[in-house]
Chains A and B, each alone.
Chain A
Amino acid sequence: MTARRHGTALGVWGLLALAPRPALAHGFGQRYDLPIPLWLWVTAAAAAVALSFAIIGLFVTANPGPRGSWRVNLLRFRSGRLLADGRTRFAARAVSVALLGLILVSSLLGNQSPTRNIAPTAVWVAWWVGFAYLSALAGNLWAVINPWSAIFDRGTALLGLRRPPSRYPAWLGAWPAVALFAAFAWIELIFTGRAIPAQLGLLIVGYSLLTWTGMLLFGRGTWLRHGDPFAAAFGVLARFAPTEVRVTDRDACRRCALACRRPDGACLDCGECFDRASPSRREWNLRPFGTGLLDTGAVSPSMVVFVVLLLSTVTFDGFTATPAWSRLERSLYAALAPLGDARLTAIGTLGLVVFPLTFLLVYLLFARWMAWAADDRLSTGTVARLFVLSLVPIAIAYHLAHYFTYLLIQGQLLIRLASDPLGLGWNLFGTARYRPDIGIVGARFAWYTAVIVIVLGHVIAVYVAHVVALREFRDRRAALRSQLPMLGLMVGYTAVSLWIIAQPIVETT
């Protein structure tokens, strides 16, 4: 009975998904997670608090030596050289450009049912969630295969364009990336057309025009660093990753138009320098998780806002699926009757404005408190810039925990969609009838993974903040005093993450 009905069911429900469904957060697709049980929530929260104090205890007696983290250059190995080879990178970029082409063609010309067209799953599940995982756990792969960069490079080379006509105004900082990321978050979490292939296709076209205009005006590297929301987002996440690209060729770094140089003359994660440097001066290093977050030199005020926005939208996504949000939505729904059909969008938009602003305000208040606790030698703004990256591991851990089963279950849709990307009834690889296995991981496994990851993320965050504090405050007593408010903030943030995964997921109607 079930099997026979399945074909029609998919078709019917796929089409029905076209109807606006504001409750379906995080871009696209369904989540079937069971909330973690109370005892596990309590155990995890207690572990986070206990481990935090254990770390402080260690720091009271031992100096961590922030410069002493180990690195292994992968280019010393044959397989590493092969992976980093120009031809491998070229092939990866070619595949990435081809996939972008497929997604564009499919979204604009293919079947308009979200589940039968490859575009929504490829964009929201594989790319947005998948690349966040890759960036945090492997390295900044996006910087290597970004198809818009690849097309721009080829295009300008063919047209013989050399120098960007305009200088990027310094006062703009990374504000364009902040604004564009806010717009993207609104599309991902609120906009009801995000899963409709043609709408998604038009958004991609719009983003492409914007990106290439920015690159033409200010140069590719400059635009990616200041204006591109995805380069910035994946870049922030990849600071946590266990790999880095380092160039020790001082000349190559000095000639680089971008402010990528570190105090020791080397430069980090800069593709332009890597391409220009002599092969013997290139490094592709393995490093401990979180090392990249210790490097707080280049964090501008706009980057502080960007990081807080990134973290808060990840949490907001989880929060909108909780019964608490559902109740809030219902009570506002009645009060906003004059807005009619736009009510849910209006409530969601309001939430998306209030939530990040609250995050920012709370963070700045804690920064003020930390500066005060450490005798006010550093300004609140400086403290905010120094410690914002130390919150990133908590957000990454929450993200990994929150999307773990989603990625494993929704990701399987790609097996089916690969055979029929446009939804035209093809069966290229014989997998067009594949049914996702919803039992691929059990609830218990998902719970323990989520909780262990969140506690680990918390521990790394506390560690990173301590290393930065000991480096910046110099006086150990001031550093330790500054870290008590920070610890409170981190325990609170971790508790919120755990609280969300302990909530039943609700679809509001």
Chain B
Amino acid sequence: MPRCPTVLVLLLALVAVAGAVAEPRLIELAIRNGRLPEDRRVVRVRQGDEVTLRWTSDRAVTLHLHGYDIEEQLTPGTPVAMRFTARATGRFPIEIHDASGAERTIGYLEVHPR
């Protein structure tokens, strides 16, 4: 079986690539009363992940993800998705501001190195 080593190498290469390859990550985040639930205040992903943050809110707010610099308007009842590739590592604040103009950090996105 002369082909066997080649197949094995290919298989190993595939495993190696699969380990390093980006994973799609869908994270649901529900803001209630201008706050995220305790266990959702730090969102952890790995570098290279295809991240989708799916937001809902019980009141109209504007969201801003620092660093990646994505801004979205949220209205009650309509989910909004932030989609991006987690290219840069770091800890990025997610800020909210409401009609009164007050701004607050409601959580963090942490992109960890692979």
Contact = CB atoms under 8 A, between A and B. Distances in A.
Contacts of B113: 442-444
B66 to A, nearest CB: 6
Contacts of A30: 66-67, 93
Interface string B83-101: 1100111111100010001
Interface string A25-38: 00000101111000
B21 interface: no
Contacts of A8: 71
Interface residues of A, number: 30
A32 B90 contact: yes
A507 interface: yes
Interface string A1-41: 11001101110110010010101000000101111000000
Contact of A507 (B68, B83, B105): B105
Nearest to B110: A34
Contacts, number: 72
A439 interface: yes
Nearest to A35: B91
A288 interface: no
A295 to B, nearest CB: 41
A5 B70 CA distance: 7
Pick from B42, B68, B91, B104 the residue with the most CB of A within 10 Å. Answer: B91
A21 B64 CA distance: 16
Given A19-B103, A442-B113, A32 B87 contact: no
A103 to B, nearest CB: 26
Contacts of B47: 442
Given A443-B112, A509-B105, A5 B71 contact: yes
B91 A33 contact: yes
A507 B90 contact: no
A81 to B, nearest CB: 44
B88 A507 contact: no
Contact of A438 (B68, B101, B110): B68
Contact of A6 (B67, B69, B101): B69
Contacts of B108: 504
A435 B113 CA distance: 22
Nearest to B90: A32
A505 interface: yes
B90 A34 contact: yes
Interface in A412-432: none
Contacts of A10: 69
Pick from B42, B89, B92 the residue with the most CB of A within 10 Å. Answer: B89
A2 B67 contact: no
B84 A438 contact: no
Contact of A443 (B66, B89, B93, B97): B89
Interface residues of B, number: 29
Contact of A9 (B42, B69, B83, B112): B69
B64 A438 contact: no
A34 B93 contact: no
A13 B67 CA distance: 12
Contact of B93 (A35, A405, A444, A507): A507
Contacts of A504: 42, 91, 108
Given A9-B64, A443-B112, A438 B91 contact: no
A283 to B, nearest CB: 45
A7 to B, nearest CB: 11
B93 A33 contact: no
Nearest to B71: A9
A34 B42 CA distance: 12
B67 A32 contact: yes
Contacts of B42: 504
B71 A19 contact: no
Interface in A440-454: 442-444
A487 B103 CA distance: 45
A443 B69 CA distance: 19
Contacts of A32: 66-67, 88, 90-92
Contacts of B88: 32, 437-439
B48 to A, nearest CB: 11
Contacts of B68: 2, 438
Contacts of B111: 34, 443
Interface of A: 1-2, 5-6, 8-10, 12-13, 16, 19, 21, 23, 30, 32-35, 405, 435, 437-439, 442-444, 504-505, 507, 509
What are the nearest 6 A-B pairs in CB distance? A439-B88, A32-B90, A443-B89, A9-B71, A438-B88, A507-B105
Given A443-B111, A507-B93, 16 more contacts: A5-B71, A6-B69, A8-B71, A13-B64, A13-B71, A16-B103, A19-B103, A21-B103, A23-B105, A30-B93, A439-B88, A439-B89, A442-B47, A443-B90, A443-B113, A509-B104
17 contacts: A1-B83, A9-B69, A9-B71, A13-B64, A19-B102, A32-B66, A32-B90, A34-B89, A34-B112, A35-B91, A438-B90, A442-B113, A443-B111, A443-B112, A504-B42, A504-B91, A507-B105
Interface of B: 42, 47, 64, 66-71, 83-84, 87-93, 97, 101-105, 108, 110-113
